């Protein structure tokens, strides 16, 4: 019995989409969620910060990120609220003096981090030191504090040079700012600004099933007509 030529491509497509969907399943905080800092890099308090996130809907999850305000401290174990997701660093309203737009270089470098490009450097024997190096670079670029940075020859230095040479005015790279406050609905004091890079949307399992069923059905119809 011969197999229709569409059957194997259909199976292969479903496997690819399923794997892609699993890979892009990383959750990110949204407006209204709560975030509690549970661990951070002990070297100069600079590096990857891990939060427990409790969404308004769904199950809690952990989220790794970097902050973008130097000399602004967040208390481990305290509950903070995502007042909004924006491109503004500092205050919650860009019309208020003191708020600044996310620097395009920070936008680019954090998107590289989110893609996993620096994992080998952040989770190795020298990982904490490398995390602190990267964090200080972000602070320096954003100009949110007194951080200074000296080129170290690590991968983000080359990426910084690349984006500075090739950036087009107005171009963005996907990074958003998580504006945290101490009270719900933007009340209380401004706590800190974190970074997030939303994953590329991927089909839900039900959509994948419908797609697979449709392609398989189409192959069956073609086969019956021959």
Q: So where are the chain's domains?
A: 1-27+205-226, 29-197
Stretch (H or E) spanning 137: helix 127-142
39 vs 199, more confident: 39
Q: Is the pLDDT of residue 210 over 50?
A: no
DSSP per residue, 18-51: HHHHHHT------TT-EEEEEEE--STT-S-EEE
> Is 30 within 8 Å of 196 (Cβ atoms)?
no
When pLDDT is cut at 50, 70 and 90, the band that residue 109 belongs to is very high
Rounded to 5 degrees, φ, ψ at 8 are -65, -45
Stretch (H or E) spanning 166: helix 155-166
When pLDDT is cut at 50, 70 and 90, the band that residue 53 belongs to is very high
Mind listing the pLDDT tens digit for each residue in 28-39?
A: 999 999 999 999
Q: What is the pLDDT of residue 221?
A: 43
Q: Is the pLDDT of residue 214 over 90?
A: no
The mean pLDDT value for 102-109 works out to: 97
Token duo for residue 16: 């690819």
The mean pLDDT value for 68-87 works out to: 91
Half-sphere exposure of 145 (CA within 13 A, CB side): 19
Rounded percentage of the chain residues whose pLDDT exceeds 90 = 52
Q: What is the pLDDT of residue 176?
A: 96
What's the mean pLDDT when you consider all of the chain? Answer: 80
- 160 to 118, 167, 170: CA distances (angstroms): 13, 10, 17
For the packed helices 155-166 and 104-114, what is the interaxial angle rounded to 10 degrees? 130
Residue 110: partners with Cβ closer than 8 Å, 6 or more residues away? 66, 138, 175, 195, 197
Most confident of 20-34, 71-85, 187-201: 71-85
Return the closest-CA partner of residue 118 out of 67, 177, 68, 64: 64
Least confident stretch, 78-92, 139-153, 183-197: 139-153
Q: Is the pLDDT of residue 158 over 90?
A: yes
Q: Is the pLDDT of residue 222 over 70?
A: no
Q: What is the pLDDT of residue 194?
A: 96
Mind listing the pLDDT tens digit for each residue in 90-103?
A: 765 545 556 789 99
Tell me the whole-structure pTM to 2 decimals: 0.76
Task: Please report, to the nearest 10 degrees, the dihedral formed by the alpha carbons of residues 156, 159, 161, 162 taken in order.
Answer: 180
Give the integer Cα–Cα distance in Å for 12 and 9.
5
């Amino acid at each position: 019995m011969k197999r229709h030529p569409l059957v194997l491509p259909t199976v292969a497509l479903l496997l690819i989409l399923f794997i892609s969907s699993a890979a892009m399943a990383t959750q990110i905080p949204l407006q209204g969620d709560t975030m509690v800092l549970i661990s951070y890099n002990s070297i100069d308090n600079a590096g990857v910060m891990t939060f427990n996130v409790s969404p308004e809907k769904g199950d809690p999850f952990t989220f790794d990120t970097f902050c973008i305000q130097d000399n602004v401290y967040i208390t481990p174990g305290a509950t903070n609220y995502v007042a909004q997701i924006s491109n503004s660093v500092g205050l919650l309203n860009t019309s208020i003096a003191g708020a600044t737009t996310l620097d395009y270089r920070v936008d680019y470098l954090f998107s590289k981090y989110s893609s996993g490009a620096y994992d080998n450097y952040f989770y190795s024997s020298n990982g904490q030191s490398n995390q602190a190096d990267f964090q200080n670079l972000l602070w320096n670029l954003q100009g949110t504090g007194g951080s200074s940075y000296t080129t170290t020859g690590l991968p983000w230095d080359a990426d910084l040079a690349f984006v500075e040479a090739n950036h087009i005015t107005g171009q963005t790279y996907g990074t958003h700012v998580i504006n945290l406050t101490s009270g719900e609905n933007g009340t209380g004091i401004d706590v800190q600004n974190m970074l997030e890079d939303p994953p590329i949307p991927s089909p839900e399992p039900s959509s994948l099933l419908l797609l697979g069923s449709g392609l398989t059905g189409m192959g069956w119809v073609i086969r019956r007509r021959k």
